[in-house]
């Protein structure tokens, strides 16, 4: 009976905090491109899970994950180190910490860890967490050849049977590695290769974050599109807005059970 009651309770609280008032209107307007409800359902995130969010930035997904996990699960925010040599990283981490501090009722229990591959990669205790989630980050690690180190760290943190969820700007299959770095778009084949080398098994691919309007030939790469809009002041800015956010792969990987 106790197990049944727990199951019922988890089912009753399974909805993600997508439409909640604590999220800004600006953030909610981006749901049409990021599809958080369907994405997190695809990654099978449950309220009793321990979850690592990789590089949460300003906390767009944190606003949705933290309330979902608050009562029965746990959220690790693997953010930029506060002592990073990169000023953008330090400033982003500081702003995130202030966000957490100023909304303690909402974010109570969130554990902030440090992630800056290849130097700092302990995102959570080894073999502990149920899910590791990364949204539009792989291209960043490719700039200093640390993408494999990142995927190895994800594998280490997950418990056997845990799931890695990856959302990333999707490159045409013919792009080479340098084209990926320059454009910000990464080949699905390459992400799969990184994950499999780390020890993961591909569980599935979803088109939930696909965008057929994105032709991927932008002068300033993926940053031409929202939310960056590197065409600011350019006469083609409306064209970028009409396209919307980038075409994205959504991949799910399994850390296999130990034999």
- pTM of the model as a whole: 0.93
CB 252 within 8 A of CB 206: yes
- The string of pLDDT tens digits covering residues 154-194 is 999 999 999 999 999 999 999 999 999 999 999 999 999 99
Q: What is the pLDDT of residues 117-137, one digit of tens each?
A: 999 999 999 999 999 999 999
pLDDT at 115 (0 to 100): 98
Q: pLDDT at residue 244 above 60? A: yes
Pairing relationship of beta strands 50-54 and 111-114 according to DSSP bridges: unpaired
Band (pLDDT 50/70/90 cuts) for residue 234 is: low
Query: How many CB atoms within 10 Å of residue 111?
Result: 12
68 vs 20, higher pLDDT: 68
C-alpha separations of 50 from 6, 105, 111, 208 in Å:
16, 19, 11, 24
Return contacts of 146-152, CB within 8 angstroms, 24+ apart: 146/117, 146/118, 147/117, 147/194, 148/194, 148/197, 148/198, 149/117, 149/118, 149/121, 150/54, 150/115, 150/117, 150/121, 151/194, 151/195, 151/197, 151/198, 151/200, 152/121, 152/198
Do residues 48 and 73 touch, judged by C-beta distance below 8 A?
yes
pLDDT interval class at 19 (50, 70, 90): confident
pLDDT of residue 8: 38
Residue 232, pLDDT score: 59
Contact 132, 162 (CB under 8 A): yes
Q: Would you kindly state where each structural domain of the chain is located, as residue ranges? A: 29-212+246-254
Task: Pick the more confident residue, 197 or 235.
Answer: 197
Q: Which of left, alpha, beta for 183 (phi over 0: left; psi -120 to 50: alpha)?
A: alpha
Q: Strand, coil or helix: what is 204?
A: strand
How far is the C-alpha of 1 from the C-alpha of 25, rounded, in Å? 42
At 4 the pLDDT is 40
Question: Exposed/middle/buried for 140, CB within 10 Å: 0-12, 13-18, 19+?
Answer: middle
CA 239 vs CA 9, 171, 182, 209, 244: distances in Å:
46, 20, 21, 20, 9
| pLDDT average, residue stretch 43-47 | 98
- Beta-carbon contacts of residue 35 (< 8 Å; ≥ 6 apart): 208, 209
Architecture of the domain spanning 29-212+246-254 = 3-Layer(aba) Sandwich (3.40)
Mean pLDDT, rounded, for 48-55: 98
């Amino acid at each position: 009976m106790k197990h049944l009651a727990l199951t019922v309770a988890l089912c009753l609280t399974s909805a993600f905090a997508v439409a909640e008032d604590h999220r800004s209107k600006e953030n909610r307007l981006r749901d049409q491109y990021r599809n958080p409800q369907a994405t997190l359902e695809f990654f099978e995130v449950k309220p009793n899970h321990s979850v690592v969010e990789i590089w949460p930035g300003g906390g767009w997904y944190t606003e949705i994950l933290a309330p979902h996990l608050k009562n029965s699960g746990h959220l690790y925010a693997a953010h930029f180190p506060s002592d990073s040599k990169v000023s953008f990283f330090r400033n982003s981490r500081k702003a995130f910490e202030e966000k957490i501090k100023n909304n303690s009722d909402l974010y109570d229990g969130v554990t902030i860890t440090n992630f800056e591959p290849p130097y700092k990669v302990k995102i959570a205790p080894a073999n502990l967490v149920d899910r590791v989630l990364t949204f539009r980050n792989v291209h960043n690690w490719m700039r200093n050849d640390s993408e494999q180190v990142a995927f190895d760290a994800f594998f280490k943190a997950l418990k056997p049977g845990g799931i890695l969820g990856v959302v990333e700007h999707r490159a045409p299959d013919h792009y080479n590695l340098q084209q990926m770095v320059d454009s910000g778009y990464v080949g699905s084949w390459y992400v799969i290769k990184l994950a499999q080398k780390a020890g993961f098994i591909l569980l599935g691919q979803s088109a939930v974050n696909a965008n057929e309007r994105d032709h991927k030939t932008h002068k300033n790469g993926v940053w031409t599109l929202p939310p960056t809009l590197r065409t600011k002041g350019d006469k083609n800015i409306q064209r970028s807005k009409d396209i919307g956010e980038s075409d994205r792969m959504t991949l799910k990987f399994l850390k296999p059970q130990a034999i």
